[in-house]
Amino acid sequence: MRGGARRQHREEEEESAFVSMTDMTVSFLFIIMILLAFFASQFNPEETVLKSDYDKALATIELQKVFIAQKDQTIADQTSQIEELLKRIAELELRLVEAEKIDPLEVYIGQTASERRNILERLRDQLLQEFPDLNVVISAENDALRFQGDGLFASGSSALRDQRTVMVVQRIAARLNEILPCYTLGPLSAWDTGCNPNGVIIEAVQIEGHTDSTGADISNLWLSTERANTTYAEMVGNQPNLVSHQNYREQPVLSVAGYGKMRPIADNDTSEGRSTNRRIDLRIIMFTPGSSEEIERIREELQAGVGLESP
């Protein structure tokens, strides 16, 4: 009796467990069906594409990615180039600023050239006031007063032509002696900012003799030198103080040179050209300092009236 009761109880438990598993399985299947129904409701046939179209779209996207990567690299390269160009521009701008800075030495050299032109114009104008028909011009290089032709000397002669030419040379000496103290050192130096505002100094006043090409070279050299010597002697004889004007090295500024036919300014094949080449040049050579620091030294010595070798 007891054995039968235990068997009946075990069968009831097994039946209860089977019912529970069946309910769970049914519930699970029911949930799956609900999910399938939900996904089915979300499905839109119009939004589907063929695999071939999908593959093409994917390939296009990949190509676009490559293109964008290439463009990014191009932009990076060009950005680098722009940075290099900007750096180069900055360097050039700096150089331009440096180039635009005023160089005192360059300015001073320009002032010496301008002042020399002023001296030559003063001499020329003063001489033409006294001798209106005098054949005197300023050289094309603006560095010499040029007495052209046979005005001072007869052909083949080293003697001044006549008393009038003697007077011309004497007036040249007198006018030069008035001008030089403001541009030279030595015992007669008389510099001030009124006559020489830039503080320039004359290195040499050279009396140069020139001939045409007629005759032997040695003869022409001798003749040109003798003419320069004659002019020098007449000038110093009339104005002895001319030899006292000194340059930066305490040397007399007045000197002579003879060039014969070696420095023509016209064609020797014509009579007019040969006449032009027979001349006396009064050349003014300005001192050129070697550095901007030397400019102040020159001005100080002009003010003191001493030369380079003075204590």
The edge-to-edge listing of strands for the beta sheet with 254-258 is: 136-138, 144-147, 279-286, 202-210, 254-258
| Cα gap 18→23, rounded to integer Å | 9
Q: What pairs with residue 160 in β-bridges?
A: 153
Q: Tell me, yes or no, whether 73 lies in a domain.
A: no
If one counts every other C-beta atom within 10 angstroms of the C-beta of residue 224, the result is 26
Q: What are phi and psi of 215, to 5 degrees?
A: 95, 175
Strand ranges in 159-291 using DSSP code E only, listed in sequence order = 202-210, 254-258, 279-286
Q: Tell me, yes or no, whether 48 lies in a domain.
A: no
| Cα gap 218→221, rounded to integer Å | 5
- What pLDDT sits at residue 310? 42
| Cα gap 150→280, rounded to integer Å | 10
* CA–CA distances in Å: residue 206 to residues 33, 104, 133, 250, 258: 125, 28, 24, 16, 10
Q: What pairs with residue 254 in β-bridges?
A: 205
294 within 8 A of 305, measured Cβ to Cβ: no
- What pLDDT sits at residue 75? 87
- What pLDDT sits at residue 306? 53
Q: Which domain holds residue 183?
A: 104-304
| Cα gap 25→19, rounded to integer Å | 10
Q: Please list the pLDDT of the chain residue by residue as tens digits (311 residues).
A: 445 555 555 555 555 555 566 666 767 777 777 777 776 666 555 556 577 777 777 788 887 778 888 888 888 888 888 988 988 998 888 888 777 777 888 889 999 999 999 999 999 999 999 999 998 999 999 999 999 766 688 878 888 888 999 999 999 999 999 999 999 999 999 988 889 999 999 999 999 999 888 888 899 999 999 999 999 999 999 999 999 999 999 999 999 999 999 999 889 888 888 888 888 999 999 999 988 889 989 988 888 865 444 44
Q: How many domains does the chain have?
A: 1
Q: What pairs with residue 205 in β-bridges?
A: 254, 284
152 within 8 A of 160, measured Cβ to Cβ: yes
- What pLDDT sits at residue 60? 80
Q: Tell me, yes or no, whether 292 lies in a domain.
A: yes
Burial 283-309 (b: 16+ CB within 10 A, else e): bbbbbebeeeebbeebbebbeebbbee
If one counts every other C-beta atom within 10 angstroms of the C-beta of residue 173, the result is 22
| Cα gap 261→112, rounded to integer Å | 29
- What pLDDT sits at residue 157? 84
Q: Tell me, yes or no, whether 127 lies in a domain.
A: yes
Residue 145: its H or E element: strand 144-147
| CATH number (domain holding residue 118) | 3.30.1330.60
If one counts every other C-beta atom within 10 angstroms of the C-beta of residue 91, the result is 10
Q: Tell me, yes or no, whether 206 lies in a domain.
A: yes
Prediction pTM value = 0.67
Q: Tell me, yes or no, whether 246 lies in a domain.
A: yes
